[in-house]
Structure 1
């Protein structure tokens, strides 16, 4: 493992944060567009949600490859290549002339973006001691949360005013900037892959060995459930705010930014939250906030309740999710790159499943019931994770 000075560590964290910002913006930018995309391509909102689910499916599938690639060629090198590919695919996505082309290009974007945040987390796991890791991951999370907020807002704004294609043009510019800075940063402080790095075949074999470990399996299982319940619901929050709360597309995206504000409230005070509540307390509080937020969103009325619901859900999710992130970085320290990318694979396969299930409910007008079911599921999930974290 390459040894970094504190200055090198800060520089690389900043660059990885910029890349994570753009990656998360690209992931969430279509959420507030679903109604507009459905109208433009003359399909239902549920059918238009394929632009969200295809991104998640491919994102998750590619983790099976990025883990071994990161172990073999170096995590920062692979991240730099992935960001460069994102810039190219984002530009092409803006040229989509029909829904099938848009779906294909969103798949390519998911394939490229998959190599950014999970390998960045794995790099933090390699470089940062465990006692500083939750705080450091929370700082990296701040950049991704702001990216999510920006994607949600600009996706709605672009769809309402400039046209949805302009959102992907801006994404292409952001990715290009992040790629240029990453390559420049790597040239100033080159990081070579370890001479002991395993071959790709050995890395894929290692994935099977990881799945044989009980601790890895439980982390991946609860993470998949988290992705299905929370991310599946999140994809349709702007649609619900538009249809049930009477907000415009851009206003719905703006209210959804409070989900990210909740994440920032957690990430900026991660050390204090941990000191006040402990890991298990974070899990219990986080699950309670998410469940409450989803119930308020499902059955509340009025913009203020919608805003409160988004804030509660965001704060609670990041309390729960950051705890699982830390568990992921430590569940197999000898193969952290593969382990963390498996974690991301599980999360986004769960998300794609949740989006597909939610898509059925939105077309049948059952979205409030689906949010209620997700709230109950998160409550059960919180209880399970609370017990499992206590064992380790």
Structure 2
């Protein structure tokens, strides 16, 4: 951390204010990511295609979001994470509005691709920026609170995609998300003018493309980085390959309208917010290894219930508990990502997000093909098995330098 980093970290007012605007931008990015859970069935009905055939619209965003981490991570290290997030937020805002006004599946996919590309900097660089100014031992609870903005974004995306889509058409959801981006953009611009110290530049970020490639190659050679990247790849492939089709399951298996689908999916976010409210206490009691393990147990159990239950009533508690379990797992992996390479933290968190979203894109596409042929149960059961295996790996093999230990109470 540079002298500039330390001086900014001491400026608590600027610290909190900057996090607030970054949280608003992350809210919009999360909303546009998960809005597809409720919108996909609506698009399939409007364009007269199967759910698997329209899945590429969701995949386009995730693929672009993941791939462009490799661009924005080094740029954040070199030019300042806050400044790069501001630029990215402008592009994401424009492309989200473009998605709302698209009239064909091809146009929608193109707008989603570009919005994913431009939004790629927001959450990962915001997390890396928090890593720059918050000590490791205090970071996971603060990141958990920061995560609440993303959870609320998921909530807005899922409810907006379902409820707004049912009454005003799915395009209205994208108009609402674009407006959230616009507010974040104005706030971040104001903060940058008022407090230039938010721009933290890493000396390790200097250099051209050859240097950038050396940074990423060097990251991959570190065993601790490889471990974290494999873990997040399993998480994203399994978790979101299945989660994307929970709404479709409710619609096709039980005949739910899109507003009801959105409301059901929203309880996932309430589960996540419960975790945020209890994160410090849970981390102190369990430590990071057991916190992540028990998170995977909860998620695996919930997917199993949804795969096997013949009634829709069990979906509500299952989706809510799944939200708790997922954030127990993902908050742990996020914190590991901020610590796995502190000397090039922007690039490290960027490559973490690349693996997270590219694995998610592959999982969503493959799950769509399976669902078209054999239904949703094989998708949910496979996800449950993979996530449970992930929990065991984290419990047994998490590197010591990434752990936060439990606090024993006397």
SS at match of 1:268: helix
Aligned position for 2:336 = 327
The alignment's C-alpha RMSD in Å is 1.3
1:191-214 per-position Cα deviation (integer Å, ceiling 9, x unaligned): 345383412322332111101111
SS at match of 2:264: helix
Aligned position for 1:194 = 201
Aligned position for 1:88 = 94
1:64-89 per-position Cα deviation (integer Å, ceiling 9, x unaligned): 10111101110000011111111111
Aligned position for 1:235 = 244
1:331-371 per-position Cα deviation (integer Å, ceiling 9, x unaligned): 00100000001110010111011101110122124211110
1:117-169 per-position Cα deviation (integer Å, ceiling 9, x unaligned): 00000001100001110011001100000100110010111221101111111
* Matches of 1:193 and 1:331, distance apart in 2: 19
Mapped pair 1:75 → 2:81: yes
Aligned position for 2:57 = 51
1:56 deviates by 0.6
* Matches of 1:199 and 1:177, distance apart in 2: 33
Moved more, 203-212 or 283-292: 203-212
1:391 deviates by 4.1
1:246 deviates by 2.9
1:144 is aligned, of 137, 150, 153, to 150
- Structure 1 residues without counterparts, runs of 5 or longer: none
Conserved? CA contact 1:279–1:389, under 8 Å: no
Aligned position for 1:119 = 125
Aligned position for 1:367 = 376
* Matches of 2:45 and 2:208, distance apart in 1: 45
Mapped pair 1:213 → 2:219: no
Moved more, 171-180 or 184-193: 184-193
* Matches of 1:210 and 1:374, distance apart in 2: 28
1:176 is aligned, of 177, 182, 190, to 182
Conserved? CA contact 2:202–2:344, under 8 Å: no
* Matches of 1:181 and 1:265, distance apart in 2: 28
Moved more, 329-338 or 258-267: 258-267
* Matches of 1:358 and 1:82, distance apart in 2: 30
1:13 is aligned, of 19, 28, 33, to 19
Aligned position for 1:306 = 315
Conserved? CA contact 1:69–1:200, under 8 Å: no
* Matches of 1:259 and 1:85, distance apart in 2: 29
Mapped pair 1:258 → 2:267: yes
Aligned position for 1:286 = 295
* Matches of 1:328 and 1:304, distance apart in 2: 37
Conserved? CA contact 2:82–2:200, under 8 Å: no
Mapped pair 1:246 → 2:255: yes
1:303 deviates by 3.5
1:185 deviates by 0.8
* Matches of 2:358 and 2:213, distance apart in 1: 19
How many matched pairs? 392
1:298 deviates by 1.0
Distance 1:16 1:195, change over 3 A: closer
Conserved? CA contact 1:142–1:268, under 8 Å: no
Aligned position for 1:272 = 281
Conserved? CA contact 1:68–1:204, under 8 Å: no
Please give the TM-score of this superposition, normalised by the length of structure 2: 0.93
Moved more, 178-187 or 189-198: 189-198
1:390 deviates by 5.6
1:11-62 per-position Cα deviation (integer Å, ceiling 9, x unaligned): 1111111110000001011111111101212221111111111111110000
1:268 deviates by 1.6
